[in-house]
Amino acid sequence: MSNKLISQMGLPSSLANVFSARNILTAKDALSLPEFDLMALLDVDRDQVRTAVARISEIACPPCRTALSLMEDRALTGGYLPTRLLGLDRALRGGIPFGALTELVGPSGIGKTQFCLKLALLAALPSSYGGLNGRVIYMDTESKFHSTRLIEIGRSSFPHIFNSEGMAQEMAGRIIVLRPASLDELTERENERSTTGQKQHSCHLPLSFLKSLAEFSQIPIVVTNQVRSQNNYEVVHYPFQGNTDRTSCMLEKLESHLIASLGIQWAHAVTIRLIFEAHSGQRFIKISKSPTSPAIAFPFLVKSSGIALLSDEGLEVTGSEMSTIRCEGLNVLVEGAEPFPHLGC
């Protein structure tokens, strides 16, 4: 929309010529400038600029839809990929939603990849077995995809499907595994602004691409994220909260010593965040950010059939605990963690 050409917008030709003479060719060029700057640049009076900008805006503006029509569309496409974990599906009102970005974050070795493998299978399954009968693109940046494990999960969870002739090949054949070597390869875009090189910019290239992709094609997109340690300067409060007890501040900082990577901007951008963490001798999947669910944590195990919840009821989580990531009592940060963690807790 922002790249629409002004020459094709039906402006009076004299005005259109002035725009192109000053190298203002797309809607983006015109609307990035304040009105006053446009007047000065084009040397036309205010009324003409206003009419032109109004016309450009009308065309560049996305179409208006009522929430009712959105709802009707949603009813047609189905809307969710059920995870087959009853408690989680119930809390998420169906499962992983279409058209939105779902993030799985947690320390390495905790079970995110296992979850992803199961989801990939569920999406590929025929609809008669509760799947989406679709194809899956699996972007494996850390070389963690093991097809042996995938087949094992399939055989364990759906023996009647996978043991029949050729089905394993069919299902596995629907999953395409891509191994991009770098961020640029992922987005296939030359980084013209490589000189600015700020971390925030590079983080958003795949982000807006992923979000637009999810919405226009109405498919579920799941991303996994790593964690990093929180340093002592990690901020907790607003200025008006200034008089909090210093000791309780320190305690908060010591306890929650892991946070998700990519910072607060990324955290704003994802629609759903599922935190995988470990404490009290168990592993938990915690719904940390979701428009339809309060924060609930479900204890889980990794089995040969993938992830299994130990309880469908889940524990309510409140306050700042919703966004903390705990990793206690589980030796998951060790180098070279085993690829098939058949761990019981």
Residues in 232-271 at the binding interface with another protein, rule: CB under 8 A: 233-241, 264-265, 267-269, 271
- Does the footprint of another protein cover residue 77 (CB under 8 A)? no
- Does the footprint of another protein cover residue 64 (CB under 8 A)? yes
Q: Give the range of 110-118, 138-146, 208-216, 336-344 binding another protein by CB under 8 A.
A: 208-216
Contact 70, 76 (CB under 8 A): no
Residue number, 114 or 225, with CB nearest to another protein: 225
- Does the footprint of another protein cover residue 320 (CB under 8 A)? yes
Query: Which of 17, 20, 141, 208 touches another protein (CB under 8 A)?
Result: 208
49 contact partners, CB below 8 Å, separation of at least 6:
35, 38, 39, 42
67 vs 14, 58, 71, 87, 313, CA distance in Å?
Answer: 40, 21, 6, 28, 32
Query: Which of 10, 130, 291, 329 touches another protein (CB under 8 A)?
Result: 291
Query: Which of 84, 112, 118, 211 touches another protein (CB under 8 A)?
Result: 211
Contact 288, 271 (CB under 8 A): no
User: Rounded CA gap, 221 and 213, in Å?
Assistant: 9
Query: Which of 71, 246, 336, 344 touches another protein (CB under 8 A)?
Result: 71
- Does the footprint of another protein cover residue 318 (CB under 8 A)? yes
- Does the footprint of another protein cover residue 323 (CB under 8 A)? yes
Determine the residue type at 2: S
Tokens of 324: 């903390």
Q: Give the range of 11-19, 95-103, 121-129, 135-143 binding another protein by CB under 8 A.
A: 95-103
- Please, what is the minimum distance in Å from the beta carbon of residue 323 to another protein? 6
- Please, what is the minimum distance in Å from the beta carbon of residue 175 to another protein? 26
User: Rounded CA gap, 153 and 215, in Å?
Assistant: 30
- Does the footprint of another protein cover residue 57 (CB under 8 A)? yes
Contact 298, 311 (CB under 8 A): yes
206 vs 146, 191, 202, 223, CA distance in Å?
Answer: 25, 12, 8, 11
